[in-house]
Amino acid sequence: ILFSVTLERLAYFAVVMNLFLFLNKGQPEFQSWEPIEALTAVFVIHGVSCICSPIGGWLSDSLIGRYWAVILGFLVYIIGYALLTALSINGLTSMGCDWKSENDSLVTNTKFHWLILGKESHPCSVHVYIILVLIGFGVGFLRANVPPFGAEQVRAGGDNAVRQFFNAYYWCINIGGLIGIGVLAYVEQNLEDGFFISYLIATTALCASLIIFCAGKGFYIVHRPGNSVIINVFRILAFYNTCKKRDSVQGSPMFRRQYQQPVALASLTGSSWVDRAKVSHGGSFHDTTVEDVKSFSKTMIFIFVLLPYWLVYFQMSTSFQAQGLHMNLHLNGTYNPDFQIPAAWLTLCDEAFVLFLIPLLNFVIYPILDKNNITTVPLCRIVVGMLISLLAVIVAAVVEHFRLEIWNQGNSINQIISNTNYNASAMSILYQIPQYCLIGTAEVFAGVAGLEYAYTTAPRSFQGIVLGLYSAIEGLGSFLGVLLVQITRSLQLGWIRSEVHFNQGHLDYFFYLLAIIQSAVVIISGLV
């Protein structure tokens, strides 16, 4: 399972971390999208993958089981990657998508397409978004089901075995990211037909991941799906609504005069309204089912606090990369056509910090705190992670301020990245390292704590859908990024401009807006 996860993450990061560059630059004979359009597309693939996770969790918990949910996710995932690979060499002309530059002019959309893409879009926009939705669907199913399925295999070993699995799981995610970003991102940015080669390798890795996962079927512990947990939730809510109406009737003066009943139907001192659905309190549901619903609601309230954190986290593959593409990509600070740092390589700082800090915290820091009776509850770690991510976007804003200042002073260079000319500031891209390192540090606290809490506190019958909804919170963060970008565009603030005028915008203001949002949630969390 862990080997399969490593290959899947390799394929995922190979595509997602440079998707902005692929859409923004194309190849010299292919279409290229403006930065704001490419940013929106990247946000969409993140968002769809996370929003589809609850669907995958519900299917696994209630209908098909986790094993077959993973298989279904892989199949859709591979179809999306195969289509994207074909698109990278203009191989979808038979489907009405000509990626060539002679059709690069915007077209007026039909009413249906207008609702999705706006008044005008590139000729292949619909095809691109269909591909992104397919990929997002597959990723979402895997996110919801692979972690709990893997944990089930070691659950008999106790809490320590489960904790070790999640540590190994997070490690494998980042090892796959290191390879996908470190090797394939370089191929995409520096080799001719680099995107086709990289996407072909990623698709092959994804197929290998599916084969390896299926090879272990004879050894897996596979649980059958249970009753629909979502239906139970809505049935309990309906029961409460019925009781509420009955209370209203029995509390009326007419009812009291006719039946001489007290105002309250059944006062449950110290109990929540959900308890009234229990059989032991005169309801229609088993006590365990009601307790599971109560635990589910508490878990969701807790992890919802992570929404602004994920909004900041997804800046790594969107606005951080847009910023990096307009900085000097050469190690010595001077133009050298022989070697350029791939903009996506800065994400390796995030991966490296995660790989270093996870064992440091789990085997050194946390044991020391435990010996001194200092409890590191998940909420505290999440707040610490959000504070660090807040610092990351502030650092990004400061870097952007000085990048623009240097460009405005005339210190700029023209550099060719994947056959596209970028008018960049002479400021080195290495100044982005601190913001990526801070994001990685925040991930170790907020990301790992959120995943651990979601699995350990969720009732067994809810684990798939809880982890799916946990990923959905990530998706909401990504869609919130889309919303913020589009709001700044509709208000004509000029923060994120077209490629030609990118350096006349104010991406730093966008980063400060993210910092304000994160600060507000941190303050609210601290007060609660």
> Which string of DSSP letters, residue by residue, matches 259-302?
H---S-S---TT--GGGGGBGGGT-SB-HHHHHHHHHHHHHHHH
Backbone region of residue 264 per phi and psi (left: phi > 0; alpha: psi in -120 to 50; beta: other values): beta
Per-residue confidence (pLDDT) for residue 528, from 0 to 100: 64
List alpha helices for 155-228, DSSP H.
Answer: 159-179, 185-190, 194-215
Q: Which of 51, 17, 57 is nearest to 475 (CA)?
A: 51
Burial of 456 (0-12, 13-18, 19+ CB in 10 A): middle
Per-residue confidence (pLDDT) for residue 252, from 0 to 100: 47
The H-or-E segment that residue 72 falls in is helix 65-87
Q: What are the chain's domains?
A: 2-225+294-527 (1.20.1250.20), 229-285 (no CATH)
Per-residue confidence (pLDDT) for residue 112, from 0 to 100: 42
d(CA 334, CA 352): 27
Q: What is the DSSP letter of 182?
A: I
Per-residue confidence (pLDDT) for residue 338, from 0 to 100: 57
420-425 and 412-417 beta bridge pairing: antiparallel
Number of H-type helices and E-type strands within the chain: 22, 4
Model confidence pTM above 0.85: no
Amino acid, single-letter form, for residue 144: A
pLDDT in tens, the chain (528 residues): 999 999 999 999 888 877 877 887 655 555 677 777 777 787 788 778 877 888 888 888 788 889 999 999 999 999 999 999 998 887 777 776 776 655 445 544 444 444 444 445 566 788 888 999 999 999 999 988 998 899 889 888 877 677 778 878 888 998 998 888 888 877 877 777 888 899 999 999 999 999 999 999 999 998 887 666 667 677 776 766 666 655 554 454 444 444 444 434 444 444 566 676 777 666 666 777 777 777 777 777 777 888 889 899 888 877 888 888 888 887 765 555 556 676 667 777 888 888 888 888 878 887 888 788 887 777 788 889 999 999 999 999 999 999 999 999 988 888 777 667 788 888 988 899 999 999 989 988 888 788 878 887 777 777 777 888 888 887 788 778 878 888 888 888 888 887 777 888 889 999 999 999 999 988 887 766
d(CA 358, CA 52): 28
**Token digits for 517?**
């949002």
Per-residue confidence (pLDDT) for residue 340, from 0 to 100: 66
